[in-house]
Structures are given as C-alpha cells and as structure tokens.
Structure 1
C-alpha cells in the first residue's frame, strides 16, 4: 500500500539531500541525508503530517524509564528491604519483540522482576482464608560463588471463573495515526475480540476511542451481545493526533456510570503510549489516574507496537491506576494475557501489597534485591496505608530474588564494618522475616502477615523453579551488562536450563531458552 507524505516532509528531505552534495562543504561535514538512516531525526522536526518514515530510515522514539540497578547493602546498616509487589510482565514480552527483530536492547527496557514474573512456577495454593501462599528457597548463586540466591514466592488463589463477580469493563482504545501499523490497531482488535469471546451475560462493556478527540463507541453493552461488541471493535480505524488524557477521563466517567458494587470495575487501555495532545508527560498522566482511581475503578494497560512505544508512560499509568501492565507483541500473547491469565489480569484479590524483609545480621552480612528498582519504598512507608503498593490478581504469582552474602562470606560489603552497628547475636536462627501488608480490593486498612524463615529453606541443589528463575535473572543481568553479573554467561544459562525437564514441557519456557540460545550464537 502506498504511503503519503506531506509536502513539507518531501521538501525538507530534498533540501537535506542537496546540502550533502553541494559545493559549500564536504559531505562529511554536511547534515546527514534523510535517506542515510545514520542520524534519525525526531518526526516532529519535520513539522508533522507524516504517516511513516522513508523506506530504509528507522525512526525510533521509544522511551524507557531510567533504572539504577540495586547494589549490595550491609545488614548492619540497612536491615530492612522494602518494596511494592509487582506482577507486570510487559518488559519480557517487549524484550522478546526486540530480540526477535534483531534490535538493540536498551538497558532500561530490561526490568528483571518482570522477566522472572512472566513465567509459571509451581507454588502451593494458599490456605483457606489466606489471600496467598508464601514460600522460600535459599541455594548457591550460579554467578557468584561467594553468595547464595534467595527465591521468595507468593501465589494467589486460582479463580473459580463461575463464582467471580460480574465485570464492568471499558475498552479505551487509541485510534490515533501512530496506531496505523499491523502490530498496533489490528492486533488491538484481535486482543479485545479474544476477551469478548469469554464474557458472561452479566458483564458490561463500553468502548471509548481517542485520537484528536475522544468518542464513545459503545455504552454499556452486555456480555451476551458479543456480535455487537465485535462489530464495534472491527469498525475502528486509525488517524489523527493523540489526546489520550481526555479519553482516559471519559473512560472513567463511563466506568463510574455503570459501576457494579462488589464487581470488577476496570478500564483497559490499549495504546503505544504516544500521547501528544493535552496532558502528555509521565508525571501529569500519573496524577490524572491517581485522582480517577479514587472511584474504585482499576486500570489495566496494554502496550502495542514498535518504533514509538512509550513504555515509561504506560508503566506509570498502570502503577498509579492500581492495575497491571502487559505488552502485546502477538495474538498468542494477547491470548495469554486476556484468556489464559484472565483472572489475574481482570480481577484484583489484594491491592497495595507491600513486602518488607528484615534480615538477621547474625546470619546475613549483606543483600542485593534483584530488580524492583522502581518499586522500592522507604522502610516507614511499609506501615503507612496512605502509600500505594502493588496489586495481585486472581491466580497471580509474585517471585522475588535476593543475592545474599551470608555471615561467613568473604565478600566485602560496604557499610558492614561500622563501629556502632556491628552484628551481634540475636538469639534467633532465622535468616530473615518476610512481612507482607495488603488491603482487600475495596478496603482502606491493611492487614499484616509475617513469615520468619531459617534453615528449613536452605538447599544445596535448587528446585527446578528456582533454577529456572535464576537463569531468567541471569539473562536479564547480561542484557543490562550488570556490574554484578560475575561469572554469568549465555552458555551457562543454556547448559543449566536445557537439563530441566519442565522447560521442554512449557512452551513459554522453551521459547525463553531459544532466545538465550540466539544470544549465545551471536
């Protein structure tokens, strides 16, 4: 299909090309040609009006939030490690897209906790009356012989779909010009079509679209009107600028209008995040959804596409809207998020979930939390119910990894030799105590759970789940070129994971192993 470009864009390109060939200076000193692909220029520099760059030119304006990797902390000086739970998986799916395209992987696109949490682990179901189960395992660290690796796991109860409350869903769909690619709006339609197939008669669906302005396409259709919902989705077309904030406001208004007390009230946003009209900054958008969520409506975010993905904005929207963030790179990923893990994606069982690990200085000298950099909290925020945590959906799992320098480790941990905070016997054989705070989905006061753990979690040979999670974390460290990667190598990951029988039986884990092999062969 032929693409049309504005006259301004063509004129500017010709002028640049001519400048590179004129006698006024050498081509080495001239501005790079628009056709060279060696110096991409921001699309807005042309004055707008384009729909796609010239063939052979790779525009890339993707944005990722800065990640400052966690370092080792001395238990004597910092015994408490506090952070919000995170069940997002967007980073892994986006990373898979980049690797499959042969693209360079930005270090800040690699959020290791989201890589680890993408996969299924065999955690026990929670006891009756408990929101989730908690397990731990301590084993030798594959990339650091002087440390041990700690894996903590939380598992929410698997949902009984027939017993789940009805849903009031608002599909908020970006139909701006930037969504006019095969991996954007057409994939959005497939994703929402899959979700529509699994709706029940008592569910309600509304559809809001936004481009230069917002539009209500469907207002409160019931789940048994699948043909009506699918037709409304299929008729969507892309074009125009992106006034996302107005669409968000309208979507929340619809969700409040059809609010189901005791039900699942949620806005599901599908976009590449390239909002360029009205409220556009990450901070402004975060404040907007923080205000809107007070109505009791949750927000799920699905990112799409390549070239101008605004990952930082989408993650902020989900985090501040009490929801989750997934990246959809294929129809199979849409099925995983909206069908296979529908309960976790749509139904929150615990909100504002916070974790705090208190390490025993008599057993542990230092620790490093792997990932969760943008979820860290001050120790005093743990008991402050006004401070947001993370959300856990029905059937969701949370996996946490720590690299630990035990009391007898030869590792030198900065701060561990302070004069007045020296380790002293505590009389406890525990390595640490894990504390968890959470609220009910409609609650405002948190509940505290505590889990002391000691020798009972220590093993010399890790379980298959622990071995796999360690391999995923190691892969993320290599991609980020972590200063803590130690002896990590792609070959080492392949060697260990290829021996795990469960990897071949799980399509997602087998696919991960192939991604690692791909890096090994480069």
Structure 2
C-alpha cells in the first residue's frame, strides 16, 4: 500500500510537471516579428515577387527595388514566387533580414494561362497555342536550339505529363526571320572640304542593346540590322557633370586615339541632362496604350508587360493620373483617368487584361491620343505609353500611314514612349518609326530586370522631358581633319539646313539622361584608305581655313526647345585639337569606345580591320570603375565567355 501511494504521488507530480511545462509553452509561444530583405536575380533586384507565409494567407510583394517586409515567426516558411523564376522556400531563423537570390526558369515563365480574370499558373496538363490563340488557353514560351540557331515552340497537339519535361524533338521551328528590322547603310568617311557640316538629331533610345542582349543570351546570331551602335552606347550612363547655367544640359568633349585604328582619333561628345527632383516634376497625364491582340499571348509579352506596368504604377504620385486604352480587333478604354493614389484600381485593371484577336493599331493610337488630349495638363507631362510587339497595322500602307498619323499627333503636345516586348515576330522597325516621329523614346523590355531599370530606377529620365528637338551640328576644321565619320545615328542624320529649321523634328532629352556621340577622325597627314579622294573642281575652289584657327579641331553647335516651346535656343562650343593617348583617356571614354567597337563588329563593319573580342574586352575592363548596377560587367560577359562562342563572335 505504501509503495502504491508513492507511485500515485509520483504520477501526480509528473502530471503536474507536464501541465506546468505545457502551460509555460502556451504562455510563451514564438512571437511574430518583421522579416525584411531583398530579392534579386543575377545581382539585380526583382520587383513584384509574391512573398507569402506558408500555411496561411499572409502575403506581400517586393517593391521596385526588390525590397519586402512581412510578419512571420521563427520556424515559418516564406515562399517566394514569381513567373519566370524557380520557386524558393526559405525557413525563418533568428535573423530578421532574409535576402533571397532567385534563379531564372524559362519553363516556369512559359507555364501560364491568360484569362479574362488575369494570369495564373497551370498546375496539371498543358496544352499549347500558336500566335493568335484565344483567351483561356495555355500559352507556352520559347526555347532555343543552339545547334540550328532557331526558336522552337511545342506542337499544338502535344501534351506533357505532370513533370512538364521539354522534348525539343517534338517542337516546331519558328522562323526568326519574321522579325522585322529597318535596313540602313553604315556612315562613310567624309572630307570636310566636301562636307564640312555633320548634322543629326540626338538619340536616347537603347532598345537595340537590350534586343542584342536577348539574341546573345538565347544563343542566336544577332541580325546585322538589329544593331544600332548609338543605342548600344547610350544604354550606359557616363559621369558627365551637371549643367551649371541656364541651359538644361551640359556639353562635354574628349579627344583621344581610336582603339581599333591607332592612326585614327576618336572624338566623344556627351550631353548631361539636368536632374529634376521629384518635388519639381510636373503632374503627369499618362495613357497606357496596351496591345492585347493574339500575337501578345506569349508569356514574354503580355504577362511581362503587365508586370512592367505595375512597376511604373509604383512611381506615380497623388497628383498624377493614368488611363488605360487597349486594342486588338477594336480599341477600348478600360480604365478612365485614375489618380496615382489609387494604385489598386490601376493594378486591378492591368490584371484583368487578356490576349486575343487581330491587331488594329491605328484605332488604339487614335483613342489614346484623344484620351490624353481630353485630360491635357497645361505645363504637365502628357504622354502616351505604347506597349506592344509591333505586330499591328495602320491603314492600307502600314509604315507610311503610321508616320503620317504620329507626325500629326505630336503637334498636340503629347509625348510618346514605346515599349517593345517579345520575340519571333517582333517588329522593331515599326516601333522605331513611332518613337522617332512622335517626340518619343523607345525601349525593348527583354526581362523584368530591364523593366525595373527603365520604368523604375530611370523613371524620371524615361518619362519627363527637359528639352525637345535637340539637334547637333559640327563643323570640322579641314586644316586638322582629313576625313571624319559619325559612328551610328544613321537613322538620325539631318540635312545641314534642317539645323536652324524649327519645323524639323528631333530627339528629346529626359531628366538626368545622358547622350553620347562618337566621331572617328583621320587627321591630316595620315594615310587614308577609307575616304574617297576629293575630285578637283572646275567652277569653285575650297580653300583651307586661315592659320588663326590652327588649334581648333571643330566647332559644335546645339539647338533645343523647351518641352512646351516652339522656338529653339542655340549653344556653341569650340573643340581644341588636343588629343590624348588612349591609355590616359577616361574610363568612360574607353568603355563607350569598347561598346561602339563591339557594335561595329556585330555589324561586320568594313571600316574597321581589328575585330578581336579579346581587345574589345580588354578595353571595356579599363572602364569598369563606374559600374554600381553591374551593367558594364554584363556587357563584358556578352563579349566574352559562352555568349561569345554561341554567337560566333570569334
């Protein structure tokens, strides 16, 4: 009996102890705390990544800098999800900061369904659709066959099992020649005695560079006419000083040796636009003009477009307003002017978009400009933002009708931004025409990081003009210059008399933007194998300048208008004939020269003999100092390594 009482007492104490421990556990559960971090891919932030706590409904999204903040407790699983990247599950530990690096997943990007309710993932079997598929079907992305240099898409009748494994042998090739690029002839060398003036419109577009990057990253040969050297050079930012006077930009020049021909010289001319603070930016009246035709059904078109527009939406202020116009078989207003403070309404409208139907771009452009004009803000930033793959028609004679339509619309004071998406049937030439004729700029969005750069980080420069119709005219001194050529800008050249004609359209310059132009120069006395010999004249004689200008290389003039002005202001700058050795040139000079060199190589220029990728890479590496975002290092990777081998650059 005594032993039984002791046993019973022990059981009671054990129960009491167990109850106490359980009570303590219930009284002190793991507390929630704020977990923050940055989501990146290849060192670049990813906006709009979904972050949720596994097992409940708590969730958030990363902002345009890739930052997130969410309440969670130790032991919770954070799930990171985004189209085009592999899912990541991360367990919350003691640290309050959890940074996540995501990896690209082309299969995941392609496994989406475009529906009238938005975009969702397909979890079970997959069907496939060619361009023009109706809403509600599964749209499959593209893969690359490096051996045959062709794009592929799955057969429409082929269905995959739950593992969604690719089998390239079952794919049907897409003719990449369906992409459309305007043809042009490379600028030749010219003699100052015959052509003393070089005149062109500035260009701040950089669509060509991101498109080239897409080709190389996909293991494809870059089409020659897709390469516009000036757009490659202007993708990168350079350390020019801010303007100090009344003019909206500073003028900067540097003169050194040409890296691809040591007997030649290279002149760099750079403009630096004035940085406007957010407080000083005018109110915006933006119209998103979105192509939702059947050709936009691919995952790297409409789904990427929607995510891009979400990034832009995050930049809006309360005083800004946005309208959304869509077009396919017909055009329609899907969101009336809405304040930037109501971002949810804007995002909801974007997520309801779906692809299907034919493409009548003219009706969409008409409605977008009409909407912008009806809500025009005097002194504000009035702009149509066209997002498309360019596969649309305007009238019976497409390109000519487009030019006339856009030239008429630019008279309204509404600026134009063109965003290009997609591959396979991409119509670069049409979008370039739109941007050139519409007081606009043009960017190609090849991935979400590029959307973040152009529409997030460089929002002010992309969307707020500080000067329009900016023209450059250079007069070269024949005492110093035997021949010269403008590198790139073939589609931006103007007649000498256009410089002073305020009716002639030219490029715009955005807040904080830089514009760079390069001239290759053959000095007097250097053997010339490139420029044609000047014929002797019978009726007129061109005399060299007097010795009073012997120290001058050239005189450069600039003309520009205020964004709402009609009359140009002129600036003049004299460039001295004082070339430095290439090794003493600035890092920016070397890097811009390397980019131009690579572009000339991709175009297989007949005016450069040295096309060594090793030499291009070496010069670019000497200009890596100002590379906070890693874009210059990325350029070197395009020149070198696997990308170089696949694209056949050596």
Structures share a fold, TM > 0.5?
yes
Matched, 1:310 2:427: yes
Q: How does 1:449-464 map to 2 (within 5 A)?
A: 449-455=571-577, 458-460=580-582, 461-464=584-587
Aligned to 1:487: 610
Q: Secondary structure at the match of 1:468?
A: helix
Aligned to 1:466: 589
What's the CA shift string for 1:211-256, capped at 9, x where partnerless? 0001100010000000000000011000011011100000001001
Matched, 1:59 2:175: yes
Asked whether the 8 Å contact 1:416–1:422 carries over to 2, the reply is no
Asked whether the 8 Å contact 2:591–2:621 carries over to 1, the reply is no
Asked whether the 8 Å contact 1:360–1:426 carries over to 2, the reply is no
The size of the alignment, in residue pairs, is 479
Asked whether the 8 Å contact 2:150–2:173 carries over to 1, the reply is no
CA distance in structure 2 between the partners assigned to 1:268 and 1:221 by the alignment: 15
Which is bigger in relative contact order (C-alpha 8 A, separation at least 6)? 1
Matched, 1:430 2:548: no
Aligned to 2:37: none
CA distance in structure 2 between the partners assigned to 1:506 and 1:224 by the alignment: 30
CA distance in structure 1 between the partners assigned to 2:280 and 2:526 by the alignment: 51
CA distance in structure 2 between the partners assigned to 1:279 and 1:219 by the alignment: 30
CA distance in structure 2 between the partners assigned to 1:175 and 1:155 by the alignment: 37
Which moved further from structure 2: 460-469 or 116-125?
A: 460-469
Q: How does 1:26-175 map to 2 (within 5 A)?
A: 55-60=171-176, 61-175=178-292
Q: CA deviation at 1:503?
A: 6.1
What's the CA shift string for 1:386-420, capped at 9, x where partnerless? 11111111111110000001112222532446452
CA distance in structure 1 between the partners assigned to 2:241 and 2:149 by the alignment: 52
Q: How does 1:185-196 map to 2 (within 5 A)?
A: 185-196=302-313
Q: CA deviation at 1:38?
A: 11
Aligned to 2:640: 517
Q: Secondary structure at the match of 1:64?
A: coil
**Judging changes above 3 Å, is the alpha-carbon distance between structure 1 residues 493 and 294 closer, same or farther for their aligned structure 2 residues?**
same
Q: Secondary structure at the match of 1:73?
A: coil
Aligned to 2:625: 502
Aligned to 1:25: none
Asked whether the 8 Å contact 1:241–1:276 carries over to 2, the reply is no
Asked whether the 8 Å contact 1:369–1:401 carries over to 2, the reply is yes
Asked whether the 8 Å contact 1:279–1:285 carries over to 2, the reply is no
Q: CA deviation at 1:58?
A: 1.6
Structure 2, gaps ≥5 residues long: 1-125, 132-147, 152-169
Aligned equivalent of 1:368, options 485, 488, 500: 485
Aligned to 1:20: none
Aligned to 1:345: 462
Which moved further from structure 2: 143-152 or 502-511?
A: 502-511
Q: CA deviation at 1:276?
A: 4.0
CA distance in structure 1 between the partners assigned to 2:130 and 2:451 by the alignment: 32
Aligned equivalent of 2:403, options 267, 286, 298: 286
Asked whether the 8 Å contact 2:179–2:424 carries over to 1, the reply is yes
CA distance in structure 1 between the partners assigned to 2:598 and 2:150 by the alignment: 30
Asked whether the 8 Å contact 2:204–2:515 carries over to 1, the reply is yes
Which moved further from structure 2: 120-129 or 221-230?
A: 120-129
**Judging changes above 3 Å, is the alpha-carbon distance between structure 1 residues 164 and 503 closer, same or farther for their aligned structure 2 residues?**
closer
Matched, 1:421 2:542: yes
TM-score (structure 1 length as normaliser): 0.88
Q: CA deviation at 1:324?
A: 0.2
Q: Secondary structure at the match of 1:147?
A: strand
Q: CA deviation at 1:65?
A: 0.5
What's the CA shift string for 1:297-334, capped at 9, x where partnerless? 01100000001111000010011110100000011101
Q: Counting helix residues as a fraction of each chain, which structure ranks higher?
A: 1
Aligned to 1:404: 521
Matched, 1:3 2:128: yes
**Judging changes above 3 Å, is the alpha-carbon distance between structure 1 residues 70 and 421 closer, same or farther for their aligned structure 2 residues?**
same
Asked whether the 8 Å contact 1:67–1:108 carries over to 2, the reply is yes
CA distance in structure 2 between the partners assigned to 1:215 and 1:141 by the alignment: 53
Answer with 1 or 2: which has the greater Rg: 2
Q: CA deviation at 1:488?
A: 2.9
Asked whether the 8 Å contact 1:245–1:280 carries over to 2, the reply is no
Structure 1, gaps ≥5 residues long: 7-36, 41-53
**Judging changes above 3 Å, is the alpha-carbon distance between structure 1 residues 292 and 483 closer, same or farther for their aligned structure 2 residues?**
same
**Judging changes above 3 Å, is the alpha-carbon distance between structure 1 residues 87 and 3 closer, same or farther for their aligned structure 2 residues?**
same
CA distance in structure 2 between the partners assigned to 1:424 and 1:136 by the alignment: 22
What's the CA shift string for 1:122-154, capped at 9, x where partnerless? 001011311100111111111112210111000
Asked whether the 8 Å contact 1:244–1:277 carries over to 2, the reply is yes
Q: Secondary structure at the match of 1:502?
A: coil
CA distance in structure 2 between the partners assigned to 1:445 and 1:504 by the alignment: 38
CA distance in structure 2 between the partners assigned to 1:279 and 1:291 by the alignment: 18
TM-score (structure 2 length as normaliser): 0.71
Q: CA deviation at 1:489?
A: 1.3
Which moved further from structure 2: 212-221 or 484-493?
A: 484-493
Matched, 1:207 2:329: no
